Amino acid sequence: MPITHTDVAIVGGGMAGACLALLFAHHCPQLRVTLLERQPLPDSSAALNLPSFDTRATAIAAGSLRIFDELGLWPQLREFAAPITRVQVSDRGHSLGASLDAGRETGASFGGMLGAVIENAALGPLLYRALGNTSTEILAPADVSSATMTAAGATLTLANRGEQLHTRLLVVADGVGSPLCRQLGIASDEVDYQQEALVTTVGLQQDHAGVAFERFTDSGPMALLPLPRRDGIHRAALVWTCERADRARLEALPEAEFIQHLQRAFGWRAGRFLRAGRIQGYPLKLSLAREQVRRGLALVGNCAHFLHPVAGQGFNLTLRDCEALARTIARTMAPQAPESGQADPGELDLLEAYWRERQHDQRLTIGFSDRIPPLFASRSLLTAGLRQAGLLGLALVPTLRTAFARQAAGLAP
């Protein structure tokens, strides 16, 4: 089998892999980076048929917007994104509510917003257009059927192309339940929450005015995220947590009945719901890889940690991981580094330094996200802090998250 060589091979061209490739291109332009994606990519990158870029929308926190800004992508992103200027929290059955404002949370805002929401179907082409302006080599369709770790990195077999690729650093970004991780002997710890997140786009009678709504119900939290208007229609992305047994029933409802049901559960804070798009269900679970780095190997994205999606943390955490990985490697590649020239991106010390840097944030974010289901299983456990701030608020405003984690860990004064 013919074999070619690269410095960094990223397996998986979803949100994690594509963003990591962009960060490597920005911070370590001297590295040869190859991005391998199993699915074919259209020439124009107009519609990407990849799992990451489906009908969901992603709430991107201000910290992540800063990273996109540094990559020079904010001007393109803002064209498709709806700013979040306020998070409004309410609780079904209680009149009390709370809100978080970008104006007050200036330390956690970017350009006067707490975050922004972008539809994944718009994010994908934007990322791939940006990748087209870098020296990243994109191989697609390229199905990595096996990976063998070697003394100098890893050798990948691309079954569908009849070729092999040797890389000094292999980054696995192939999603949750990664067969590649299993093949490399990396197991994951899993908790099945026995719930589903129903995701759809809804049409609203009134403008959302940049408000993201969070509503606590008996079955779990609902999030309504602002989206840009389309064809004159006010739109929002709905994430509705429900019991697994309810999924099929809710999905099967005719649109008018679904809307009635939604209106009852959500209330009138966002005005009248007019329509709903196709409903997509996602099983809720926590999946954590037992190892994230080894000599010549790193894991990023859903294959490293797959979280409860309602608090909107998964991608934001991944982007922070990816930035730290690219920056850590860039430091040893810098011309002033005495070892420059021989620097190996797969060096264990380097990857362990990255992992040490990321552990605190990962522990905090994953721990916070894992506390969501028990909080809703027993309402008496809801802390006042959590109810006041809301899950989205906690996701968008890191200081609140730290405060909540301290409280949950019994460290709060």
Ligand X SMILES: Cc1cc2nc3c(=O)[nH]c(=O)nc-3n(C[C@H](O)[C@H](O)[C@H](O)COP(=O)(O)OP(=O)(O)OC[C@H]3O[C@@H](n4cnc5c(N)ncnc54)[C@H](O)[C@@H]3O)c2cc1C
Position 315 contacts ligand X (CB under 6 A)? yes
Which amino acid is located at 351 in the chain? L
Closest separation between CB of residue 343 and ligand X, Å?
27
Cis, bond preceding 373 (omega within 30 deg of 0): no
Position 173 contacts ligand X (CB under 6 A)? yes
Residue 35 near residue 58 (C-beta atoms within 8 A): no
Of 174, 108, 125, nearest in space to 146 by CA: 174
Position 297 contacts ligand X (CB under 6 A)? no
Position 127 contacts ligand X (CB under 6 A)? no
Of 17, 13, 304, 42, nearest in space to 176 by CA: 304
Position 175 contacts ligand X (CB under 6 A)? yes
The smaller minimum CB distance to ligand X, of residues 306 and 344, is found at 306
Q: What is the DSSP letter of 321?
A: H
Subset of 202-261 contacting ligand X (CB under 6 A): none
Residue 379 backbone phi and psi in degrees, to 5: -60, -25
Structure tokens at 357: 């840097």
Position 125 contacts ligand X (CB under 6 A)? no
Structure tokens at 102: 């970008």
Position 15 contacts ligand X (CB under 6 A)? yes
Q: How many whole angstroms separate alpha carbon 230 and alpha carbon 82?
A: 12
Closest separation between CB of residue 239 and ligand X, Å?
6
Owner of token pair 């026995």? 194
Residue choice 50, 171, 186, 333 for contact with ligand X (CB under 6 A): 50
Residue 357 backbone phi and psi in degrees, to 5: -65, -35
Closest separation between CB of residue 86 and ligand X, Å?
17
Residue choice 8, 9, 12, 21 for contact with ligand X (CB under 6 A): 12
Stretch touching ligand X by CB under 6 A, among 6-14, 181-189, 249-257, 377-385: 6-14
Question: In sequence order, what DSSP letters do the residues of 368-410 get, joined into one string?
Answer: HHHTHHHHHHSGGG--HHHHHH-HHHHHH-HHHHHHHHHHHTT
Position 165 contacts ligand X (CB under 6 A)? no
Q: How many whole angstroms separate alpha carbon 43 and alpha carbon 125?
A: 11
Size of the site for ligand X (CB under 6 A): 36
Position 174 contacts ligand X (CB under 6 A)? yes
The smaller minimum CB distance to ligand X, of residues 78 and 320, is found at 320
The smaller minimum CB distance to ligand X, of residues 148 and 331, is found at 148
50 Cβ contact list (under 8 Å, min separation 6): 13, 14, 37, 39, 124
Position 188 contacts ligand X (CB under 6 A)? no
Position 390 contacts ligand X (CB under 6 A)? no
Residue 222 near residue 315 (C-beta atoms within 8 A): no
Position 124 contacts ligand X (CB under 6 A)? no
Residue 277 backbone phi and psi in degrees, to 5: -85, -160
Residue 191 backbone phi and psi in degrees, to 5: -125, 120
The smaller minimum CB distance to ligand X, of residues 202 and 343, is found at 202
Residue choice 7, 9, 10, 14 for contact with ligand X (CB under 6 A): 14
Residue choice 16, 102, 396, 400 for contact with ligand X (CB under 6 A): 16
Position 404 contacts ligand X (CB under 6 A)? no
Closest separation between CB of residue 344 and ligand X, Å?
24
Using CB under 6 A as the criterion, which residues of the chain lie in contact with ligand X when the complex forms?
11-17, 36-39, 50-52, 56, 58-59, 142-144, 173-175, 180, 197, 199, 282, 301-302, 309, 312-316, 318
